A and B are shown apart, each in its own frame.
Chain A
Amino acid sequence: MAKTWDEINERIVSGAAVVLTAEEFAELAAGVGVSEAAARVDVVTTGTFGPMCSSGVMLNFGHSDPPIRMSRITLNDVEAYGGLAAVDTYLGVTQQSSTRGIEYGGAHVIEDLLAGKAVRLRAWSSGTDCYPRTEIDTWVRLQDLNQAYFFNPRNAYQNYAVAVNSSERVLHTYMGTLLPHLGNATYCSAGALSPLLNDPTYRTIGVGSRIFVAGAPGFVAWEGTQHNPNQQRDEHGVPLAPAGTLAVIADMKRASTRFFAAASMTGYGVSAFVGIGVPIPVLDEEIAATLALTDADISATVFDYGVQRRSRPALGQVTYAELRSGTIEVQGKKVPTGPISSRAKAREIAAELKRWIAEERFTLAEPLKPLPQPGEQGVKPLEIRSEEAI
């Protein structure tokens, strides 16, 4: 009963497509079996909403009169990259304000722009014949910009670590506050709702896939940075630790503060919650089998963040069902757990994407190029060496 991309898209366009969220599909499959569920359903939607540091926006301000070639740029005192063309910039979410530190950063500027607020743009330049102006101080809103689009080099991590801390002291990390002596465990994945856990070997998600980014329709632009398909996998092919990633692109003008939220992680810095949703076509039973997996079937590896090295010791594996139960067992000790990635928002994203497909006839795009597959490439560390040693 295999279906093709074209068949599924025709059903979407004609309004006949059956679309379920990953949670709904797993429930259906548990009731009627995987093959029956595969026959009945055309598309399954996924979603995730966690802090994704490797995110930011490309902005084009337009030219002032006389014009300026901006080489140092700040937005509400947050530095944006000045090494592009005259009035283009990239603003990364983790950049901190020079006046407010981690309480306000690139992510907050983006959130303010999305909320329709005016942002103070200041820029400096040494001045040239074609761009004589040396300073500018003005206010801009999202609607005033020519282009504003997300370009996020690494989003939607395929699984993530479970963080604990065996050391003597409290640690403030990007995984939240980790209490000493295995006092708590934090985890950051939408589990069974997560995009790349529902297509573990990247059969349907690749360059050019049409997806949901922060409330806007967007695309997978490339493999994400640190994409590592060679991570250890379970019997379903699902990675047990952080593996694949996506680089994504989308029109910021169509995004929403409902699906993008600035974050200040105390003791760590600024980041942003980014909503990502990916529709997965139910092409055959093999795809359906991984779509039917639940939190009880998907595991993550517990890492000790108390050891401040590149390779942190792994202290075992736990399922997302165990993590969501509120306690896990690590080294014989009961450890309370807390999430970092919002499951409520992940569910909202999967539901919104389902609505796009069913009501707005949002069709699916077959990848133009697959993501690097297991066995093709891994992640290289950065070694510290001298020029002579290279």
Chain B
Amino acid sequence: MPRKRLDLTFPPRQATKPVTYHLVKDFDLVPNILRAQIHPGQEGRMVLEVTGRKEDFEAGVAFLESEGIVVKPAATDICLDEEKCVLCGLCTAVCRPGALTLNGRGDELVFDKDKCVYCEACVVACPRRAITLSF
């Protein structure tokens, strides 16, 4: 079954709705929350990986949008500015899934796209601001 990553922005009032419950129950989708920052009464953001059939996926997205949630495709790649990168390795220290690693002698920063969950921890941690998420 196809899997897609979505980047959801919740307007302040909608932030308390149990939308993932509805995605499962009403649309037969399997959501996996990669990142969530939801505070009642404030704008929230959630990065979801959704597995399900195409029709269900489309209906699910339509439901989210009808709830006032802004749905965008989530980042699918990271972009590394090699001019800025000093190969310090700080980003590898926060990458829990192990998508970013320094190779054997520390001379090369390797990105394994399959392992990345687009949590943005590396973006925040890089002291050179050398990493940006891209689509």
Least Cβ–Cβ distance between A176 and chain B, in angstroms? 5
Select the stretch in B15-23, B48-56, B121-129 that faces chain A: B121-129
Which residues of chain B come closer than 8 Å to A337, judged between CB atoms?
A: 93
The residues in A between 258 and 292 inclusive whose CB is less than 8 angstroms from any CB of B are: 261-266, 271, 273
Which residues of chain B come closer than 8 Å to A84, judged between CB atoms?
A: none
Chain A positions within 8 Å of B, measured between CB atoms, are 49-51, 103, 176-177, 179, 183-186, 261-266, 271, 273, 324, 326, 336-345, 347
Interface flag for B59 (CB, 8 Å): no
Which residues of chain B come closer than 8 Å to A343, judged between CB atoms?
A: 87, 89, 102, 105-106
CB-defined A-B contacts under 8 Å, sample of 8: A51-B88, A176-B90, A184-B96, A266-B127, A273-B88, A341-B88, A345-B86, A345-B87
Chain B positions within 8 Å of A, measured between CB atoms, are 84, 86-96, 98, 101-102, 105-108, 121, 124-125, 127-129
Which residues of chain A come closer than 8 Å to B127, judged between CB atoms?
A: 51, 263-266, 271
Least Cβ–Cβ distance between B79 and chain A, in angstroms? 18
Least Cβ–Cβ distance between B89 and chain A, in angstroms? 4
B interface, over-half SS: loop
How far is it, in angstroms, between the C-alpha of A344 and the C-alpha of B93 when the chains are bound? 16
Asked whether A177 and B125 contact (CB < 8 A) given A49-B86, A184-B93, A345-B87, the answer is yes
How far is it, in angstroms, between the C-alpha of A183 and the C-alpha of B125 when the chains are bound? 15
Asked whether A342 and B86 contact (CB < 8 A) given A176-B94, A177-B93, A186-B93, the answer is yes
Contact B96 A179 (CB under 8 A): yes
Which residues of chain A come closer than 8 Å to B88, judged between CB atoms?
A: 49-51, 273, 339-342
Contact B125 A176 (CB under 8 A): yes
How far is it, in angstroms, between the C-alpha of A261 and the C-alpha of B93 when the chains are bound? 19
Contact B94 A184 (CB under 8 A): yes
Which residues of chain A come closer than 8 Å to B92, judged between CB atoms?
A: 338-339
Q: Which residue of A lies closest to B102 (CB)?
A: A339
Q: Which residue of B lies closest to A273 (CB)?
A: B86
Which residues of chain A come closer than 8 Å to B87, judged between CB atoms?
A: 342-345
Contact B129 A338 (CB under 8 A): no
| In-complex Cβ contact of B94 among A49, A264, A338, A345 (8 A) | A338
